[in-house]
Amino acid sequence: MQAPDTEGTSDTYDLKTSTAEKIHKNRWWILAVVAMAQLMVVLDATVVNIALPSAQKALDFSNADRQWIVTGYALSFGSLLLLGGRIADLFGRKKTFIVGLFGFAIASAIGGASTGFPMLVTARAVQGAFGALLAPAALSLLTTTFTDSSERGKAFGIYGAIAGAGGAIGLLLGGVLTEYLSWRWSLYVNLVFAVTAAVGGIIFLTNDHRDHRPKLDLPGVALASGAMFSLVYGFSHAETTSWSNSITLGFLIAAIALLVSFVFVETKVSHPLLPMRVVLNRNRGGSYLSVFIASVGMFGVFLFLTYYLQNTLHYSPVVTGLAFLPMIALLVMVATVTTSILLPKFGPRYLISSGMIIASLGMLLLGRITANSSYIFVILPALLVLGVGLGAIMAPSMNTATAGVTPADAGVASATVNTSQQIGGSIGTALLNTLAASTGTAYLVGKTFSKQVVVEAAIHSYVTAFRWSALVFVIGGVVAGSLLKSGVSKFPEEYSVEPVVAH
């Protein structure tokens, strides 16, 4: 009887072993590369905001056109995230990551060199598209690289801190670049991040090996992209017009219909874009909702506190950015500690729900602002409390949201996290802007117009936004407490994370 041929099996085992050893050896370098890419994507949502007035003056475009520099990025990024995540799963995370980085860099260079509005808005849309490739690939690389629970906690603590603080870092960087160089450098700076991360990715990352590559779910792609586009555009349109506007309502209704159709299709196709097993797990589903709700609420900090510091207290863009630094520092510390030490012991339920309540308290503290509030005694305490709250929400949520998925689903699970964050931010910006604007307008009714009254109306609108944000976080605390589980999560064996095989 002929002995079985074990040569191929032996070669495969050796390959898996050497790959796992290489990944383990380079894991902290991989974290640095992924974190740099994630920082670039997150801060790009806000770094351009501070530069917009200068760009508008230089390129001579209207106020109506100005919003499209932000909206164009958000539309392409939000609508293509799920597709980007599945592309990473199907064609390899390293390849998708590198292509995303170079595409983002090229689009940034074109945007920085823009000679007019059409060129700039097109570059921003292309940036968003490559960002939709890059962001899920980055998070899924982290998911498949860190499989040890203690090290995974540290890695996700750092990554989650960047996701939570990236917007504030963007405000600081945008202020420095615009004030001391040019608005164009708010785009050119991405070349530094992208090229550095790409070189690191080429050196330290390994290619995925796919024995079987399933077909891409084209109906799912069309429905998901259409739904996300309609959601982001609908909320952006509401921000500039009204919630009762026919176009706003049309896009929001279309988004709901497309989402329902998407869920139905995903339960029927053999190779779904978003397998329902990814989102129907109680902890993962609760984590996606937590990221979404926190993103709705946290824009009350970055958006309206920026307005208050610059327009009311007359801080420069650079000083405004520096004002956020204590919050960022505390957020990073709390995110690292909670994810590496507390999450493995107590699970996500009490950690994330407590973070929501603490963030709500921070928002209420911001509601104490006046026309001449002290930074040390009024603003700083609120920012420190917010740093603790957001640190306890974002990193543990992202860790839990990607825990227990197979390597084959890591990209789309990561994309769902990014989608939750992006859609939450879009809704938060539109909803809070509308509430603030209507409150400010109502305050002026019946009053004699003066500079002091205008300032009081603005502060009244900011306080309203902060209080609504506080309510959003309270709702988040209830949702997290109801859905998430306490204690260490136990996933089925077939959903455990394993190192990716390279070739």
- 113 found inside a domain: yes
- 500 found inside a domain: no
Number of domains in the chain: 2
CB 358 within 8 A of CB 392: yes
The tokens for 481 are 């407490």
Residues 121, 230: one domain?
no
Residues 397, 249: one domain?
no
Instruction: Output the CA torsion sign for 88, 273, 397, 76.
Output: positive
Helices (H), 181-217: 185-204
- 41 found inside a domain: yes
Residues 65, 137: one domain?
yes
CATH number at residue 412: 1.20.1250.20
- 402 found inside a domain: yes
The tokens for 340 are 């590496």
pTM of the model: 0.82
- 302 found inside a domain: yes
157/163 Cα distance (integer angstroms):
10
Residues 265, 343: one domain?
no
39/244 Cα distance (integer angstroms):
36
- Coil, strand or helix at 308: helix
Residues 71, 206: one domain?
yes
Q: Of 246, 272, 298, at which residue does a domain stop?
A: 272
Residues 324, 258: one domain?
no
Residues 237, 197: one domain?
no
The tokens for 182 are 């040019």
Which amino acid makes up residue 335?
A
Residues 243, 167: one domain?
no
Q: Of 256, 272, 288, at which residue does a domain stop?
A: 272
Residue 495: DSSP 8-state: G
For 237, the domain range is: 217-272
Radius of gyration of the chain, Cα coordinates, nearest whole angstrom: 23
- 114 found inside a domain: yes
Residues 198, 333: one domain?
yes
Helices (H), 342-450: 343-346, 348-366, 380-402, 410-444
Residues 267, 277: one domain?
no
- 46 found inside a domain: yes
- Coil, strand or helix at 7: helix
Q: Which of 470, 275, 286 is nearest to 361 (CA)?
A: 470
Per-residue pLDDT of the chain (503 residues; tens, 9 = 90+): 444 554 444 444 444 555 666 666 778 888 888 888 888 887 777 777 777 778 888 888 876 677 788 778 888 888 888 888 888 888 888 889 999 999 999 999 999 999 988 999 999 999 999 998 988 888 888 878 887 766 777 787 787 777 767 777 777 788 788 778 888 998 998 999 899 999 998 988 887 665 566 678 888 889 989 998 898 888 888 877 778 889 999 999 999 999 999 999 988 888 888 888 888 888 999 999 999 999 899 876 777 888 898 889 988 878 887 888 898 889 888 988 888 888 888 889 999 999 999 999 999 999 999 999 999 999 999 999 999 999 999 889 988 988 887 777 777 888 888 888 888 887 887 788 888 888 888 888 878 788 888 889 989 999 999 999 999 999 999 999 999 987 665 544 333 333 333 33
The tokens for 256 are 């709901």
108 alpha carbon, distance to own chain's centre: 19
Residues 93, 156: one domain?
yes
Number of other residues whose CB lies within 10 A of the CB of residue 211: 6
Residues 308, 345: one domain?
yes
- 8 found inside a domain: no
